[in-house]
Amino acid sequence: MSIYTSLRHNIHLAKQNILHRINPKRCNYFLAEKTEKLSAEPLKRVNLQVPAEADTYTVVAVGKKDDKLYKKKITTFYSEGNIIKRTIEDSDGNNVIREYEDSGLGLKKSSFFERKITHKVQDKVTSLFKTNLIKLIKGYRSEKDGKIKIQLLTNQIDDNSINSMVTEYPFSGINNKFVKRKMLGLKMDFIDGIPVIRETFETTNVKFPSDDKYLPFRFIIDDGIKLKSLTKHFINEKNLDKLNIKISISDKVEDNTAGYFSENSGAIVYNKNVHTNLVKLSSHEVEHAHQYRQIGRICKGNSKYCLDSRKLYGPIDGLNESMEAHKYAVASEKYPNIDKSEDLSKNPEYKNNYLEVKAREAENRAFEEYQSMGKDLNSQFFFWLE
C-alpha cells in the first residue's frame, strides 16, 4: 500500500467505525467480543500501559471466519468520557497505538497520534529476513456548522529513509471526493542523522515552501527522531561536527531538567520524560557545546572535550571572540551546584549565569527563525504540526 493509498484508507476509518462498514454477506470478519465501559482501576494494577488518567475502557475483538487463530483486539481508554488512548493488537503482528490529546484549539474532537509497526519480509534463495517498517500518523479534526475538517501527517520510516505526507481535507466533508484537499509530501534520506529531501509532491493548490530550511524537520512525527536530527543540524551550523558529540535520550535524567551538555563525556543527553519545545531545547544544548569548545580553545578546561577542541580548532584569533570565550570560562567556574529536586526557574544564580543567559538567547534566535520560516506553510494549512 502506498502512502497515498494509506491516507485515503485512514481518513475513511476516521469517518466511520470499521465494524459498521462490514457487510456480513461478503466479509470474512466477524465481531467476536464487545464490552460496555468497564472501570480502568483494576486493569491499572496489572497493565503498565494503561494511562494514569483513564477511568474507564472498552474492548472490541474481531475474528476471521476462515482463520480460527486470527484475532484483532481493540482496547479504548477514556477519561471523563473522552478517548485518550486506543491500542489495536493484531495476531498478524500489525499493532497500533493511538494516543489522543487536547490540542488546545477548541476542536470538537481531539487530535491523535498513531504508531503502527509492521514487518517487511523478503524471500531469498538461501535466507529469509525481516526489517521493521514503522508507520506513524498524527492528525487533527475539527467541526464547523456540521462540516468536518481533518488534517493528517503520516510518516513511513524504513531504515535510513522516511516518506512523509501532510493532507488537509476541507470543511466540505470527507465524502466529497476530496476535490479540494491539500497535499504536500516529502521523500527524505537521513544523511549523518539529518533529513535530506530527495523528492517532493504537492497538489496544485499548495505552494512548495522552498525557503524553509526547517521543512524536513517539520515533517517528522517521532519526537526522538526529530530531537536528535535537530541537534545534528545545530551542531553542523555551529561547526562542531569534528568533535563527534554523542546524542542520547534517557529516562535517567533528573526530573528538573529537559537535558544537558556534559563536557566530561562530550555528550548531549535529553530527558525522555520531559516534553518541551524541541527547537529551543536542541539549540540551547548545542550552544553549551559551542561554549565549552571556545573555553578549550583559550586553554581553559581540562576535560577531553576541551583539549580536543583546542587540538581540532586551534586557538581563537579574533579579540572579541576571545573575550567572549573568557566570559564563558569565568561563568563555568562560577556555575552553581544544582539540587536534583529544585525548581531551576526559581534559582537566580542558575538563571543569571552567563552560560545560561547566552544559551537562552541562542534558543530564542533559533525558535524565532523556525517560526518565521514556517509562516508560508502555516498560511496554507489550517493547523501545522510543530
Greater confidence (330 vs 21) lies with 330
CA gap 345, 203 in Å, rounded: 46
Residue-level pLDDT at 381 = 84
CA gap 207, 202 in Å, rounded: 8
Inform me whether the pLDDT recorded for 158 exceeds 70: yes
Residue-level pLDDT at 363 = 97
72 DSSP β-pair partners: 62, 90
Number of residues that this document lists for the chain: 386
By mean pLDDT, which of 150-154, 232-236, 239-243 is the weakest?
Answer: 150-154
Residue-level pLDDT at 124 = 36
Which of 37-51, 104-118, 279-293, 332-346 is most confident?
279-293
Beta strands in 92-181 (DSSP E): 95-101, 109-123, 128-144, 147-158, 161-169
Inform me whether the pLDDT recorded for 120 exceeds 90: no
Can you read off the three cell numbers belonging to residue 147?
462540516
Can you read off the three cell numbers belonging to residue 264?
566530561
Inform me whether the pLDDT recorded for 269 exceeds 80: yes
> pLDDT per residue over 54-90, tens digit each?
899 999 999 888 888 888 888 888 888 888 888 887 7
Mean pLDDT for 245-274 is 93
Residue-level pLDDT at 46 = 65
Question: With a threshold of 0.85, does the pTM exceed it?
Answer: no
- Mark 140-150 as b/e (b = at least 16 C-beta within 10 Å): bbbeeeeebbb
In this prediction, residue 104 has a pLDDT band, given cuts at 50, 70 and 90, of: very low
What's the mean per-residue pLDDT of the chain?
81
Residue-level pLDDT at 133 = 61
Q: Is 62 helix (H, G, I), strand (E, B) or coil?
A: strand
> pLDDT per residue over 271-312, tens digit each?
988 888 999 999 999 999 999 999 999 999 999 999 999 999
Percent of the chain with pLDDT over 70: 75
- Mark 41-72 as b/e (b = at least 16 C-beta within 10 Å): eebeeeeeebbeebebbbebbbbbeeeeebbb
Taking the CA atoms of 37, 42, 43 and 44 in sequence, report the sign of the dihedral they define. positive
> pLDDT per residue over 178-192, tens digit each?
457 889 999 999 999
39 DSSP β-pair partners: 56
Mean pLDDT for 256-281 is 93
CB 138 within 8 A of CB 385: yes
Inform me whether the pLDDT recorded for 252 exceeds 70: yes
